[in-house]
Amino acid sequence: MKKELLMGTALVSTLGAASVAEAVSATMSGNHQTGMEFDSPNGGTDTNAQINDNNFTVSLSETTDGGMTISSSFKVMDENTKEDYDAGFTLAFTDGSKLDVLNAGNASSSHAVSIPGSAGAEGVANTSTNMAPTGLDFMNSSTAFGIEYHTAADFLADGLKASFSASTDSGAANTATYRVDSHVAIGATYVTDLGDTAVTIGAGYSGAEGSKTGTAVNDDNGGVHVGISAVTGDLTVAVGFADGSKAGVTDDGSDEYTAEVVKAGVKYVSGDLTFNVGFASGSADDHAIGGSDGNDDSQDVTSASISYAVASGVTAILGYTATESQDEAVGTDDGSAWYIGANMAF
């Protein structure tokens, strides 16, 4: 019995030592942002509320003897969504390319150019039936069972990077709500210098197929986007355009639409101060799945903010957003909102 106990102790000690020696590297990051929003809808009652945005992410990685890095992460998020454990694995190869496996996302979204806008957390609430989008990747979708491959830098040409993604069906039975069954997407980013200006061009295409019981959709998720950003010293100017379609929208997933979005923005950094101004205009021709065209929805959003770096990782933010909206060609939910708060990042 004594020998068995000694052997067991030795085994546990060995496994414990091995687990410590072979543990993956872990890093933590996140932010805590809190502030007050003052919402003034036209024709409605002014309201104010505290707005929080809290994120805590743990990133895990390790490198094999062959030089390949394996990484993943999980996130604990704000008060409404407690956690996100859906991240898959990323395999980073020695040539600079990467492969995302499981919940890999959409390659078109990976190359959407960032357009400056307000850094605040303000916004004017819109009716749930207004389908007009304001993002460049509104039509991109995927399933959890997919991969995304990212090329190394300078792919085929100096300054060019590209991605390709694909996903497949979960095998679940169809329901009355539209579900994405599969997708393929491609995206690319090209970076070059024009004198003192760094220019970034990003573009992508995505196509998806989906299904539901009953009526078939006219327009599955998919479309194209393109954007360009120019940085000269402390000044950034960017514009973007997107055109596509989306199905399974509204509260019960019974609508589909075709839409266009135009975005533009400017950011200027002066010492500890950052000034942002942005504009987004979206329109959508929405209707019941399988139905005929209806009247257009629209949203025009203008925003601006001033951010001040109070200390390392601490930023004070003053933001403003104004929205003009139409739902089925009828004006609704116009208004403006202010935000004052601070973000602490680590």
Q: For position 335, what pLDDT does the model report?
A: 93
Q: For position 341, what pLDDT does the model report?
A: 97
Counting Cα atoms < 13 Å in the Cβ hemisphere of 151 gives 18
Q: For position 79, what pLDDT does the model report?
A: 55
Q: pLDDT tens for residues 41-84?
A: 887 789 999 999 888 999 999 999 999 999 999 887 655 555 56
Q: pLDDT tens for residues 16-53?
A: 444 444 689 999 999 999 999 999 988 778 999 999 98
Stretch 224-232: mean pLDDT = 98
Give the CA distances from residue 292 to residues 146, 220, 297, 318, in Å, rounded to whole numbers and listed in that order: 33, 15, 15, 44
Buried residues in 62-77 as b, exposed as e (16+ CB within 10 A): eeeeeeeeebbbebee
List domains and CATH numbers for the chain: 34-345 (2.40.160.10)
Q: What percent of the chain has pLDDT over 70?
A: 90
Q: How far apart are CA 166 and CA 163, in angstroms?
A: 10
**Structural element, H or E, at residue 343:** strand 335-345
**Structural element, H or E, at residue 11:** helix 2-21
Stretch 173-198: mean pLDDT = 93
Is pLDDT of 286 > 90?
Answer: no
Q: CB–CB of 132/283 below 8 Å?
A: yes
Q: What percent of the chain has pLDDT over 90?
A: 68
pLDDT band at 211; cut points 50, 70, 90: confident
Q: For position 266, what pLDDT does the model report?
A: 98
Q: CB–CB of 135/115 below 8 Å?
A: no
Q: How far apart are CA 246 and CA 255, in angstroms?
A: 9
Beta bridge partners, 262, equal 241, 281
* Between residues 275 and 217, the one the model is more confident about: 275
Q: How far apart are CA 24 and CA 315, in angstroms?
A: 32
Three-state DSSP class for residue 117: coil
Is pLDDT of 4 > 50?
Answer: no
Q: What are 153's two structure tokens?
A: 């830098």
